[in-house]
């Protein structure tokens, strides 16, 4: 048996909780007792707290409060880590290189049977990479450091629809990945308010030496959701949108990142949404037109007319 396998076997034997002698280890693993002593020394040098007791009732045990490091991963754990690496790469995770090194170490310490099974499942999953995705590794890495250590950052930020970028001083609270894009949530000193910033629009970033304290009980997730999905509670000018359709189509619509937020009622063949009238007539038509004949608008009549207007405008545009 290879040296590493014998050392790990000894660690497993020590982890059983009982006292074990060098002679018992030697007989169990069929190795020379002097080799056992060397392996015990190797484990001790690596940081494993082994207690050695001499005498008639002596032997080796582990320190009672020793918490075993997660050195061993079963087949499902290894497969999950490999799959996680694939998803991380697709998301543009900045630590992909370090993650791949960790995965490589996993492979090096897997036995042949584990490696074969993991590879079978690893090759069964594939993520189609985004075309033309922007590499944000360096910016994300610096941002994560600033968030973790509580340092403000200076950024040159390109705002949507603006020709000129602006310098901003930001206290970064959190990094969010949503809808295939990375966002930074933080306090903007220019606007004196908490804002969200698309990371791909940050032209340059510099860590400062200015420390900040993150607000207690602040939820970046809740802030981000409220900024992209404005609340309509107690707001005038709201109306109900009633849609009929088959269950599968309605399931898809009700799970939509935007429309699902405003779902009020649902049956097997009908869904009711409560929406601001301006949003209903400006945004929603473009979300529902792709569903074609698989849905039927029941009310309001004004929305049915708006759908017809949008379709007429599209037809007229493409006839030019």
Q: Give the up-direction half-sphere exposure of residue 142: CA atoms within 13 A in the CB hemisphere.
A: 14
Task: Of 26-30, 35-39, 63-67, 278-282, give the lowest mean pLDDT range.
Answer: 63-67
Which residue in the block uniquely carries the two structure tokens 């996680």? 84
pLDDT of residue 16: 75
pLDDT of residue 9: 85
Burial 291-320 (b: 16+ CB within 10 A, else e): eeeebebeebeebeebbeebeeeeeeeeee
Which CATH code is given to the segment(s) 238-319?
3.30.70
Nearest to 11 by CA among 34, 40, 51: 40
Identify the band that residue 11 occupies on the pLDDT scale cut at 50, 70 and 90: confident
Residue pLDDT, tens place only, 19-36: 889 888 898 888 898 999
Task: Of 20-29, 63-72, 204-213, 255-264, give the lowest mean pLDDT range.
Answer: 63-72
- Maximum CA extent, the chain: 99
pLDDT of residue 268: 92
Nearest to 94 by CA among 209, 221, 184: 184
d(CA 62, CA 66): 7
> Average pLDDT of 114-123?
74
CATH among 2.60.40, 1.10.3470, 2.30.30, 2.30.110 for 137-228: 2.30.30
- Any bridge partners for residue 295, and if so which? 245
Domain boundaries, the chain: 3-62, 75-122, 137-228, 238-319
Query: What tokens were used for 59?
Result: 């032997």
The Cα-based distances of 54 to 12, 22, 23, 39, 72 in angstroms read: 21, 11, 13, 18, 30
Query: What tokens were used for 206?
Result: 């510099």
Between 136 and 308, where is the model more confident?
A: 308
Residue 90 has pLDDT above 80, yes or no: no
Which CATH code is given to the segment(s) 3-62?
1.10.10.10
Residue 65 has pLDDT above 60, yes or no: no
Left (φ > 0), alpha (ψ -120 to 50) or beta: where does 274 sit?
beta
Neighbouring residues of 178: CB distance < 8 A, sequence distance ≥ 6: 224
Helix (H, G, I), strand (E, B) or coil at 39: helix
pLDDT of residue 138: 83
pLDDT of residue 246: 93
Residue 145 has pLDDT above 70, yes or no: yes
Cβ–Cβ < 8 Å for 99, 88: yes
In whole numbers, what is the pLDDT of the chain averaged over residues? 84
Neighbouring residues of 134: CB distance < 8 A, sequence distance ≥ 6: 92, 200
- Any bridge partners for residue 202, and if so which? 157
Query: Does this chain's domain 3-62 share its CATH topology with 137-228?
Result: no
> Average pLDDT of 263-279?
93
Nearest to 53 by CA among 63, 66, 65, 38: 63
């Amino acid at each position: 048996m290879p040296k590493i396998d014998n050392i790990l076997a000894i660690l497993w034997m020590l982890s059983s909780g009982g006292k074990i002698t060098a002679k018992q280890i030697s007989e169990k693993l069929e190795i020379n007792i002097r080799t056992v002593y060397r392996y015990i020394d190797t484990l001790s040098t690596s940081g494993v707290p082994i207690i050695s007791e001499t005498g008639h009732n002596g032997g080796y045990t582990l320190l009672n409060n020793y918490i075993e490091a997660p050195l061993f991963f079963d087949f499902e754990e290894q497969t999950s880590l490999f799959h996680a690496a694939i998803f991380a790469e697709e998301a543009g995770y900045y630590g992909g290189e370090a993650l791949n090194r960790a995965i490589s170490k996993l492979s090096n310490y897997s036995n042949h049977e584990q490696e074969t099974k993991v590879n079978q499942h690893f090759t069964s999953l594939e993520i189609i990479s985004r075309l033309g995705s922007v590499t944000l590794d360096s910016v994300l890495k610096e941002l994560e450091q600033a968030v973790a250590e509580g340092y403000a950052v200076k950024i040159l930020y390109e705002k949507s629809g603006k020709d000129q970028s602006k310098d901003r001083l930001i206290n970064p609270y959190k990094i969010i990945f949503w809808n295939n894009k990375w966002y930074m949530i933080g306090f903007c000193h220019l606007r004196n308010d908490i804002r969200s910033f698309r990371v791909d629009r940050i032209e340059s970033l510099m860590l400062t030496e200015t420390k900040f304290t993150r607000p207690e009980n602040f939820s970046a997730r809740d802030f981000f959701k409220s900024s992209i999905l404005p609340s309509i509670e107690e707001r005038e000018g709201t109306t109900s949108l009633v849609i009929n359709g088959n269950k599968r189509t309605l399931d898809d619509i009700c799970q939509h990142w935007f429309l699902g937020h405003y779902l009020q009622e649902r049956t097997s063949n009908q869904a009711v949404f409560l929406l601001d009238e301006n949003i209903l007539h400006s945004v929603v038509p473009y979300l529902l037109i792709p569903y074609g004949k698989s849905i039927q608008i029941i009310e309001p009549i004004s929305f049915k007319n708006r759908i017809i207007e949008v379709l007429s405008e599209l037809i007229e545009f493409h006839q030019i």
